[in-house]
């Protein structure tokens, strides 16, 4: 297995992708990103200013991290495609985390529009990383239209509930020929470890670190969980059994001799 994560023409040593919203302030965010040992950070293009006269968050981040713009807040194909194009122009990157949301309540992907938007962006030479449902069929369709990776949710955005359907994630991993990065719903380090143990290529998270009581420490825990989970997957776990299996043989067992 490769020690790096390859997406499009990029290679990353870290398999932890981190968001940049909801932190108390920029200093806490930067300390957390550093503690998380991440290389890739996501930024919502619709929520930042790209004006040139002051140093903004993009200027700060691009000194150290690969910036993955996302289309958060887009509800239509037209909005998502336009936002991706603006990001490419401003940031000089053809990578985009594609989000096309169905509504403001559950923030779940609008699958029909997501696939169409992904297809359009692939035609426009983007490396598309779509945020999608944990549905093997949807992930395969996104792969078939040319997406560079698939990013199935673990649970609703910001819920912290962890992976709700491990079987689906496992099937997605087994059937995908592109990287699988769990996105949304992670709550703590054990959720990250489980995702990696299932064979995922990476995890993208934000709220679980940004809103933790100690974001910097939580970021470190997440980074450690990535490594532990990945190593466990590569090592190969024992099969689950419904019965006990002794770890030692009966050979050499001491037998008591009963006296009459």
Residue 46 has pLDDT above 90, yes or no: no
Give CA–CA dist 43/26, Å, rounded. Answer: 13
Beta bridge pairs of residue 192: none
- In 3D, which of 141, 134, 125 has the Cα closest to residue 170? 134
Q: Is residue 251 part of a domain?
A: no
Q: Is residue 157 part of a domain?
A: yes
Q: Is residue 243 part of a domain?
A: no
Q: Is residue 253 part of a domain?
A: no
Looking at residue 52, what is its pLDDT? 53
Beta bridge pairs of residue 95: 127
Q: Is residue 145 part of a domain?
A: yes
30: left (phi over 0), alpha (psi -120 to 50) or beta: alpha
92 is catalytic: no
CA-angle at 141, arms to 98 and 87, nearest 5°: 15
The predicted-structure confidence for 117-127, as pLDDT tens digits, reads as follows 999 999 999 99
Q: Which of 97, 119, 141, 220 is catalytic?
A: 97
- In 3D, which of 154, 155, 133 has the Cα closest to residue 196? 154
Residue 35 has pLDDT above 50, yes or no: yes
Tokens of 249: 């043989």
Looking at residue 227, what is its pLDDT? 97
| Top-confidence residue, 177 or 245 | 177
Q: Is residue 244 part of a domain?
A: no
- In 3D, which of 97, 101, 110 has the Cα closest to residue 179? 97
- Could you give the number of structural domains in the chain? 1
Looking at residue 1, what is its pLDDT? 42
What CATH number should be reported for the domain holding residue 126? Answer: 3.20.20.70
The region of weakest confidence among 22-36, 128-142, 241-255 is 241-255
| Top-confidence residue, 44 or 97 | 97
Give CA–CA dist 56/53, Å, rounded. Answer: 9
Looking at residue 51, what is its pLDDT? 57
Q: Is residue 215 part of a domain?
A: yes
Give CA–CA dist 94/107, Å, rounded. Answer: 25
Beta strands in the chain (DSSP E): 5-7, 10-12, 16-19, 40-44, 66-70, 95-98, 127-132, 151-152, 181-183, 202-205
Q: Is residue 9 part of a domain?
A: no
Contact (CB, 8 A) for 100 and 77: yes
Determine the structural domain holding residue 115 and report its residue range: 15-235
Contact (CB, 8 A) for 93 and 69: yes
Contact (CB, 8 A) for 197 and 170: no
């Amino acid at each position: 297995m490769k020690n790096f994560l390859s997406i499009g023409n990029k290679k990353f040593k870290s398999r932890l992708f981190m968001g940049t919203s909801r932190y108390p302030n920029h200093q806490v965010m930067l300390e957390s990103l550093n503690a998380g040992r991440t290389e890739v950070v996501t930024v919502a293009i619709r929520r930042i200013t790209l004006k040139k006269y002051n140093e903004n968050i993009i200027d700060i981040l691009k000194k150290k991290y690969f910036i993955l713009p996302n289309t958060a807040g887009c509800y239509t194909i037209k909005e998502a495609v336009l936002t991706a194009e603006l990001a490419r122009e401003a940031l000089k990157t053809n990578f985009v985390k594609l989000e096309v949301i169905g509504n403001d309540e559950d923030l779940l992907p609008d699958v029909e529009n997501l696939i169409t938007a992904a297809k359009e962006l692939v035609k426009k030479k983007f490396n598309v990383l779509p945020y999608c449902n944990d549905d093997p069929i949807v992930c395969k369709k996104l792969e078939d239209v040319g997406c560079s990776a698939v990013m199935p949710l673990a649970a609703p955005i910001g819920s912290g509930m962890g992976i709700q359907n491990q079987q689906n994630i496992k099937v997605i991993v087994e059937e995908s020929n592109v990287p699988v990065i769990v996105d949304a719903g992670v709550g703590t380090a054990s959720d990250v470890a489980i995702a990696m143990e299932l064979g995922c290529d990476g995890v993208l998270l934000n709220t679980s670190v940004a809103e933790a009581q100690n974001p910097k420490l939580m970021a470190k825990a997440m980074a450690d969980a990535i490594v532990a989970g990945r190593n466990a997957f590569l090592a190969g776990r024992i099969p689950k059994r419904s019965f006990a299996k002794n770890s030692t043989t009966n050979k050499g067992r001491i037998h008591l001799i009963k006296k009459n």
